[in-house]
């Protein structure tokens, strides 16, 4: 079974700082990778996803993620964070050929200060 | 597009009673819906996969007799927590997968269940 690790549990950044959130997965086969965001009091929203092709994926709100197969990683990046990016970020993995079940990481709480 | 709603958004019930939570895909047909449970400051744990017109597939450790799932139509799935106990208090979230989308799931806002 696949698993997902997010090593940063709580990150505090000042506005305009650059962001990188780590995500590593363990699975020997082909995977689909996702980043979801959960703003305070809101539901999970898809930030970006990778199925195949260009390993550098661009999502909404200026976020991007890079799939590095050799490192089993899918780190999320943003060059300059805003206060409105304060939220919980979840990395998730699904394996192809299954019922598209998502396995989530434990989440990273991002706090952006003014 | 791709909006998923849940009802109710929160519910408080007495121990021993049953609670039904609805999950609806508002602007698409969902052949597959998923039910998750989220504990405070923890990640989402998949409870079961619900396919329209067939029995749900439960994850290991989830009691199928306690968490009854019905997926009666392409836009509605329900989760019934039977004989609820305080340890069932949690945040329950559903998601739906459009039939034409390979793997993207769209999430509902969640239902906060508190069992007294």
C-beta separation of B18 from B81 below 8 A: yes
In order of A27, A87, A111, B81, the CA distances from B113 in angstroms are: 34, 22, 27, 10
pLDDT at A18: 97
Q: Lowest-confidence range among A40-44, B11-15, B33-37, B92-96?
A: A40-44
Domain range annotation of chain A: 3-113
CATH architecture of A3-113: Sandwich (2.60)
Interchain CB distance below 8 Å, B104 and A49: yes
Contact A99 B103 (CB under 8 A): no
Contact B44 A45 (CB under 8 A): no
**How many CB pairs below 8 A link A and B?**
52
- Per residue in B51-103, pLDDT (tens digit) is 888 889 999 999 999 999 998 889 999 999 999 999 999 999 999 988 755 66
Length of chain A, in residues: 114
Cis peptide preceding A96, ω within 30 of 0 = no
Give the lowest-confidence range in A49-63, B1-15, B28-42. B28-42
User: How close B80 comes to chain A (CA, Å)?
Assistant: 21
Nearest by Cα to B20 from B70, B57, B64: B70
Residues of chain A with pLDDT under 50: none
- 3 state SS of B44: strand
* Residue A27 C-alpha, separation from nearest chain B C-alpha, in angstroms: 17
């Amino acid at each position: 079974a696949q698993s997902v690790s997010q090593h940063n549990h709580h990150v505090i950044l000042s506005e305009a700082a650059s962001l990188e959130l780590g995500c590593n997965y363990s699975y020997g086969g082909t995977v689909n990778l996702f980043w979801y965001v959960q703003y305070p009091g809101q539901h999970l929203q898809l930030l970006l996803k990778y199925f195949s092709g260009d390993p550098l994926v661009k999502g909404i709100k200026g976020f991007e993620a890079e799939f590095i197969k050799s490192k089993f990683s899918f780190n999320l990046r943003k060059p300059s964070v805003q206060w409105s990016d304060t939220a919980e970020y979840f990395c998730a993995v699904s394996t192809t050929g299954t019922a598209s079940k998502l396995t989530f990481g434990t989440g990273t709480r991002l706090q952006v200060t003014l | 597009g791709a909006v998923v709603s849940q009802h109710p958004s929160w519910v408080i019930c007495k121990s021993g009673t049953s609670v039904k939570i609805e999950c609806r895909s508002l602007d698409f047909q969902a052949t597959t819906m998923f039910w998750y449970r989220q504990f405070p400051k923890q990640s989402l744990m998949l409870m079961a996969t619900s396919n329209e017109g067939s029995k749900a597939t439960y994850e290991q450790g989830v009691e199928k007799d306690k968490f009854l799932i019905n997926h009666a139509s392409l836009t509605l799935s329900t989760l019934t927590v039977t004989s609820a106990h305080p340890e069932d208090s949690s945040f329950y979230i559903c998601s739906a997968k459009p039939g034409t989308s390979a793997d993207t799931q769209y999430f509902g806002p969640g239902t906060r269940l508190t069992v007294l």
